């Protein structure tokens, strides 16, 4: 079976009725969703260290104290 190009498939899809086009899109989206969700699960710990450069030169306790003071008006 010959592999079809994206453009060939798109052209064939354009020949479908609007109802069939919608059904095709829904089925493709469902298949893609399942394929993506069956992959590796993510962990919040992957975010560790992101943005750390923002905090260089800032004293953590001074920052927290300033934030707390801003709550009091």
Domain locations in the chain?
Answer: 11-37
* DSSP annotation of 51: T
Between residues 1 and 43, which one has the greater pLDDT?
Answer: 43
- Residue 32 tokens read as 């893609």
Q: Residue 59: is its pLDDT beyond 70?
A: yes
- Residue 5 tokens read as 């190009």
Q: What is the pLDDT of residue 41?
A: 78
Mean pLDDT across 30-48: 86
Check the CA dihedral 38-44-45-51 and report its sign: positive
Q: Residue 70: is its pLDDT beyond 90?
A: yes
For residues 21 and 13, the answer to whether their CB atoms sit within 8 Å is yes
Mean pLDDT across 58-69: 93
Kindly report the pTM of this predicted structure: 0.47
């Amino acid at each position: 079976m010959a592999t079809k190009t994206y453009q060939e498939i798109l052209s064939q899809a354009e020949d479908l009725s609007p109802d069939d086009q919608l059904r095709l899109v829904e089925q493709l989206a469902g298949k893609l969703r399942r394929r993506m969700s069956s992959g590796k699960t993510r962990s919040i710990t992957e975010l560790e260290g992101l943005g750390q450069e923002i905090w260089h030169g800032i004293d953590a306790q001074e920052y927290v104290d300033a934030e707390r003071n801003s709550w009091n008006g």
